[in-house]
A and B are shown apart, each in its own frame.
Chain A
Amino acid sequence: MSQFLRRITSLPIQSIRSFHSFDEVTPAKYISTRLKNGVGSRYVCQLQRLTIQVCKEFRTSFGTRDWIANDLIKFAREHPYVVVYVQPRRHRAPNLVGEYLAGDRQWIPLSNCDREKVNWWIHSLLTQKGDPQWRLLKQMHTDSPSVQGIWTPFTNKPIDRITRTYPDKDLTEMEYPQITATQQIQELFEQQKLNKTS
């Protein structure tokens, strides 16, 4: 629903901040996780370190500066498992670089983003696994696709079929549980005859 609204209202879309070529086919993958995360008694956040590159003077990094002044300490306290580096760079655009446990790396430009957007992007990197953009082939992943057994032509097949000699009379003859349509019409016809005569 929200996608539909977004399309109608044509608001600036915050989730697209990188060049995407539609000429190339997006790589497609199945859902996977690193090290079966979430199975055991604990969950491991995959973001290892976060580098915020920011300029102290330029207008382009106003929101990033705002976030560092107001939210950085709170973020670091809430997520002690992430190492945050703030890297001031003179007269250049602000960037966000996330490095992940498996060795992946995500890069996001933060030019002209306000404080809320910066917060959104940082939490977006925090909750990711870090792999590049991919298209989902299936919206689920399972290691045991069938618990009650995969169907084959031999499941629930009556065992006496193998002991018979073919052609078998019992199997070839049709059994009609009710009278057939032709028989019904015949009966009606005969009743009509009787009525006429009487």
Chain B
Amino acid sequence: MVRLLRYGTIFGPLKDRWRYLYKRDLYKRRLEAGPEPERFRSALINWNYDAELYACTHRFGEKLNIESLRNAMTDASFLKQIVKQRTEAGLAATDQTTLAFTHNQELAKQGKQIAEDFLQKALHYWYPKFPQEGIEAITKFLLSESTIADISSGLGFKTLIRCDIPSPRPTMLTNALFAFIGSINENTGRSRAEVFVADFILTHLVGKDINEIWQVKNPMGLLTKVLEENGRQAPESRLIWATGVSSVLSTYVVGVYSNKEFLGKSAGATVSIAEEMAARDALRRLFETDEKRAQIPFDKLYKKGLLLDK
């Protein structure tokens, strides 16, 4: 490969002895000084919080009152800090009523309730045969702290949240996102908040297998239970194919049948593994959560009036 530019061409080649020594000393001093302390984004000169909030409302196309958004973005720790600062300064304003804003705990509760209800409703609608246990597991995964904090930081709330540390903790991020949903509900109505949940929380399922999110430990036991409930006979597993039995790369294909009716089949390195995977495949086919199944139509959940008639 041809070298286009030599290193150090911007400041001249480092052939002068004095320049080299100077640079080395600077480098050593920088190392001794250690890493820079974390700063708030608001500490920099290019920062206008009102403009940021205004842009935030336009970003998601929501018509929000700036004051309510400011409340949604205020963490409880921020208020505590202010009260502490005031008491240290000798002011008597310990009580929250004198402050112009409140923290987002109430809004977050409201938002979380909306999200939970909507997610359960939407999943029930699109996967009607999937058991309640599984749907609860998926909603739990979607509303878990790590998932919601990831979504919240991806929506740029990291710099907008007002809290007592420069990089907000996951709990603060989750509260902020739920409070944002709550403030949409207060400003423009519940349906708009639900559309927001569909667009940003439900879409987290893209590229994920919902059968793996709900971990079934004994698939064969679940299969017999489901078949019993539907009034069908117990499942029987049969070996369909086997190759390389005495080799390292042995493969067995096992099918699961109920009253000579095909339920599912799968391959595995041993018979027991193949049987378990076949049971999982049968469950997938019974619940209609196959790979072949269409993904949730995130943008059309309301357009077609799908959820409204339920």
Contacts and interface: CB of A to CB of B under 8 A. Distances in A.
- Please tell me whether chains A and B touch each other in their complex, using a CB distance cut-off of 8 A: yes
Interface of A: 19, 21-23, 34-36, 39-42, 44-45, 48-49, 51, 80-83, 85, 87, 100-103, 143-144, 147, 152-154, 157, 159, 162
A120 B206 CA distance: 33
A23 B299 contact: no
Contacts of B3: 22-23
Interface string B216-258: 0000000000000000000000001101000000000100000
A49 B293 CA distance: 40
Interface in B1-45: 1-5, 10, 45
B211 interface: no
B181 interface: no
B198 A40 contact: yes
B204 interface: yes
Contact of A36 (B46, B51, B206, B253): B206
Contact of B200 (A35, A102, A154): A35
12 contacts: A22-B4, A34-B154, A35-B200, A39-B199, A39-B298, A45-B59, A82-B55, A83-B52, A101-B154, A102-B153, A143-B207, A154-B241
> Interface residues of B toward A: which range?
35 or more
B55 A48 contact: yes
B54 interface: yes
Interface of B: 1-5, 10, 45-46, 48, 51-52, 54-56, 58-61, 151, 153-156, 158-159, 195, 198-200, 202-204, 206-207, 240-241, 243, 253, 267, 291-292, 298-299, 303
A23 B1 contact: yes
Contact of A22 (B1, B48, B151, B153): B1
B155 A87 contact: no
A80 B298 contact: no
